[in-house]
Chains A and B, each alone.
Chain A
Amino acid sequence: MPVEILMPALSPTMEEGTLSKWLKNEGDKVASGDVIAEIETDKATMEVEAVDEGTIGKLLIAAGTEGVKVNTPIAVLLQDGEGAGDIANAKAEAPKPAAAEAPAPAAAPVAAQPKAEVPSDPAIPAGTEMVTITVREALRDAMAEEMRANDDVFVMGEEVAEYQGAYKITQGLLQEFGPRRVVDTPITEHGFAGVGVGAAMTGLRPIVEFMTFNFAMQAIDHIINSAAKTLYMSGGQMGAPIVFRGPSGAAARVAAQHSQCYAAWYSHIPGLKVVMPYTAADAKGLLKAAIRDPNPVIFLENEILYGQSFEVPKLDDFVLPIGKARIHRHGKDATIVSFGIGMTYAVKAAAELEAQGIDVEIIDLRTIRPMDLPTVIESVKKTGRLVAVEEGFPQSSVGTEIATRVMQQAFDYLDAPILTIAGKDVPMPYAANLEKLALPNVAEVVDAVKAVCYK
């Protein structure tokens, strides 16, 4: 029976891709292992190899087609003795995964994300032209602009140069700036973090990319003991103007060692600034600010957000202040405070709650340290109710810190106890259903807001 060749998923977060090139034509014989096509995603270009042997009966998707969904049939492979008349009877090369019915939950927010309004950014003059770009492009543009402006800025990390970035954040930088300023390192996080801090102590401005912040655990001594404390220990003589950046938090189906949010960890440390953007505009404006900052900055990104598009102002030099929250949505009944990917839950919950007659104000913290508590408190004074949302672990979380401080500084304005929504208190499981349970979800946020509104 003829076999359908399906559009493969090249990574756990891939939903669709471009079928950029066919390397076999209809009528060509293929053996297993032959490269039959090239597929491109926003992260990488990959070759598709044949699994079965046979003859290409029909190419179902034309070369150059964009947005081909994973598991879409792309070609039909005829077995020995079969002809064109058999094509209609083709069966998928493998049973469609059961997960198709329960898609990886973390991938869900990718679709139809509302574009962020950015009402409280005085940095954007009225009438500024906006362009829609992904968070990934925003990060790359921020680095490129700062590298053009200052020769002291360079980027180092694993696969940042020739591979163009494990998540393609540094795409094109090697070509523009060369190997002196775009430095591939060995897999040696502790060592290259120390090299970066040493270079920063002389006044250079390294951007150290961690392939993920999970790997930065090997380097955390240099981040904290060498970078964060030197200014104080030297009586102000020398510090480390350095940015440590990379994805933090859960991606999809990568299990416990690769799924951890570090916002609360680094926010504990005096001498660090900790930034965790949600939108592409914030990613760009804040990364530029982080590179210019004379202090060590932890810049926490999120793999799920990399491919999401937002409007970014078209300005020659768009820089946002570190330490300022942004009111993402104005409302009067309750306040949700969140940051990074936590915002995806907040935004969806607010839409559901609006349908139920509850008008939510959403504050995107953007910076975890220093924390813009005044903006949160101003909102609480108006709404009297607060829910904090994040993906990290619940104990000693950013949300519990916010709750403590709001309780201490705005107790009289609260009409209900502050609720915190966080990831569950478990290492991240691999199984799709358990992973979904371990992460926060929109229903939890909706329920929490209704609870603080006594509805």
Chain B
Amino acid sequence: MAPRKTASVSSRKAAAKSTKKDFAAGTIAEFSKEDDLKAYREMLLIRRFEEKAGQLYGMGFIGGFCHLYIGQEAVVVGMQLALKEGDQVITGYRDHGHMLACGMSARGVMAELTGRRGGLSKGKGGSMHMFSKEKHFYGGHGIVGAQVSLGTGLAFANRYRGKDNVSLAYFGDGAANQGQVYESFNMAALWKLPVIYIVENNRYAMGTSVSRASAQTDFSQRGASFGIPGYQVDGMDVRAVKAAADQAVEYCRAGKGPIILEMLTYRYRGHSMSDPAKYRSKDEVQKMRSEHDPIEQVKARLIEKGWASEDELKQIDKEVRDIVADSADFAQSDPEPDVSELYTDILL
């Protein structure tokens, strides 16, 4: 069966169901010059970082699995703009972008990818397993869907402690079919837990398009039987993500319970490095890149509004490239973990 016809993002957005006064779907946040510049820089950092990671993988510096976030940058950057100190983030295996957006160091992430001692998990976790207590990032989980229950537990802890922090549990359209997702929805709705479920619908669970795997492809409505409101969001427009994030965060902080945001997004690269992506056409990818690229949208806006010149943007590009190059150098020169690390961190 052919993948679902690539509708334009705006028409898919129009399908968003919202009549509730808590949430105005399809809203585009007003971005100031500073907002756009910040979003541009952060998305570009993820893009360049992932391109470098792909390159290092090809050179044999990175082993095992490596799932790149290229194309989906607006989702995590837009969500992060709505958070405050103490809010938690948890995601699945396509996690590099989330970690960079949470403020975890590029060196730490890249050195973990190369399995070096300066990696965020001392080289013992790898691409899919990194954490930061300081940045409230709870992984990096390689078991598809596990982060949804765990993220619900983070929200449970916030409620238990009487904090008004929210937790963000990211998962893909593939994970959305796991049973524990619905077990979690049920408990979160039952106990009114402050958790935002973010379905990053990039249209393919590995090589299976959503229409081939999901009886109901509107993931925003997957919480309907638990009474959890859900909204579709143009996940390629960082302003739309930010607007949805602001409203969702406010909803959760107010103690109204969980909320679902379905981010309509797209990954340009294969599922992992070894995926030739034969399940979709090159035209489909090219169309998304040329018409909906999240970074190009911001760039065009910055220039059009006169908020940044080509030179100024080039300067940002250079700064970002320097950070990435530095992380790559570090990740290749940093030593592997000491052999004594084999037996550490098993029990406290």
List the interface of chain A (C-beta within 8 A of B). Answer: 154, 180, 185-186, 188, 190-204, 221-222, 225-226, 230-239, 270-271, 273, 294-295
Q: Are A195 and B125 in contact (CB under 8 A)?
A: no
**Chain A minimum-CB-distance residue to B138:** A201
**Chain A residues near B133 (CB, 8 Å)?**
237-238
Total number of B residues with any Cβ neighbor in A under 8 Å: 45
Closest residue of B by beta carbon distance from A186: B186
Q: In the complex the two chains form, is A273's CB within 8 Å of B347's CB?
A: yes
Choice from B121, B157, B184, B348 contacting A233 with Cβ under 8 Å: B121
Give chain A residues whose Cβ lies under 8 Å from the Cβ of B142: 225
Q: Are the C-beta atoms of A191 and B154 separated by less than 8 Å?
A: no
B172 in contact (CB, < 8 A): no
Q: Is the CB of A221 within 8 A of B139?
A: no
| Chain B stretch 301-348: residues in CB contact (< 8 A) with chain A | 344-348
Q: How far is the CA of A185 from the CA of B190 in the complex (A)?
A: 10
Would you list which residues of chain B between 125 and 183 have a CB under 8 Å from chain A?
125, 129-133, 138-143, 146, 148-157, 160-161, 179-180, 183
Contact of A186 among B151, B160, B187 (CB under 8 A): B187
Q: Is B258 engaged at the interface, CB distance under 8 Å to the other chain? A: no
**B138 touching A198, Cβ below 8 Å:** yes
Asked if A221 meets B146 with Cβ closer than 8 Å, knowing A199-B160, A237-B131, the reply is: yes
User: Is the beta-carbon distance between B187 and A226 smaller than 8 angstroms?
Assistant: no
Known: A233-B121, A235-B119, A235-B124. A195 touches B156 (CB 8 A): yes
Query: Is the Cβ of B347 less than 8 Å from the Cβ of A235?
Result: no
Q: List 20 A-B contacts (CB under 8 A).
A: A188-B183, A188-B187, A190-B149, A191-B152, A194-B152, A194-B183, A195-B150, A195-B187, A197-B149, A202-B88, A221-B146, A222-B146, A225-B146, A226-B150, A234-B130, A234-B139, A235-B120, A235-B125, A238-B133, A271-B346
Residue pair A191, B149 in contact (C-beta under 8 Å): yes
A21–B148 Cα distance when bound, in Å, is 48
Contact partner, A230, options B139, B154, B183, B344, Cβ 8 Å: B139
In the complex the two chains form, what is the Cα distance from A451 to B256 in whole Å? 68
Chain B interfacial positions (CB closer than 8 Å to A): 88, 90, 119-125, 129-133, 138-143, 146, 148-157, 160-161, 179-180, 183-184, 186-187, 190, 344-348
B149 lies within 8 A of A235 (CB): no
Asked if residues B131 and A230 are in contact (CB atoms below 8 Å), the reply is yes
Contact present for A192 and B187 (CB under 8 Å): yes
How distant is B346 from chain A, measured CB to nearest CB, in Å? 5
Q: Which residues of B contact A198 (CB under 8 A)?
A: 90, 138, 149-157
| Bound form: Cα–Cα A222–B132 in Å | 20
- When the two chains form their complex, are residues A238 and B131 in contact, meaning their CB atoms are under 8 A apart? yes
Cross-chain contact B183 with A191 (CB below 8 angstroms): yes
Whole-angstrom CA separation of A22 from B295 in the bound complex: 78
Given A190-B183, A194-B184, A199-B157: A239 and B150 interface contact (C-beta under 8 Å): no
Residues of chain B within 8 A of A270, CB atoms compared:
346
CB distance from A262 to the nearest CB of B (A): 19
Q: How far is the CA of A197 from the CA of B156 in the complex (A)?
A: 11
Known contacts being A204-B157, A230-B131, A233-B125, is A221 close to B347, with CB within 8 Å? no
Is the CB–CB distance between B141 and A226 below 8 Å? yes
Among A200, A201, A221, A294, the one with the most B-chain Cβ atoms within 10 Å of its Cβ is A201
Is the Cβ of B154 less than 8 Å from the Cβ of A201? yes
B157 touches A237 (CB 8 A): no
Q: Min CB distance, B194 to chain A, in Å?
A: 13
B180 touches A194 (CB 8 A): yes
Cross-chain contact A191 with B119 (CB below 8 angstroms): no
Chain A, residue nearest B136 (CB): A202
Closest chain A CB from B53 CB (angstroms): 19
CA gap between A225 and B148 in the complex, in Å: 14
**Could you tell me the distance in whole angstroms from the C-beta of B339 to the nearest C-beta in chain A?**
15
Q: How far is the CB of A216 from chain B (nearest CB, A)?
A: 14
- By Cβ-Cβ distance, the 7 closest A-B pairs, closest first, are A198-B153, A194-B149, A191-B183, A235-B122, A198-B150, A233-B129, A235-B121
What residues on B are CB-neighbors of A222 within 8 Å? 146, 149-150
How far is it, in angstroms, between the C-alpha of A186 and the C-alpha of B183 when the chains are bound? 9
A352 to B128, CA, bound (A): 57
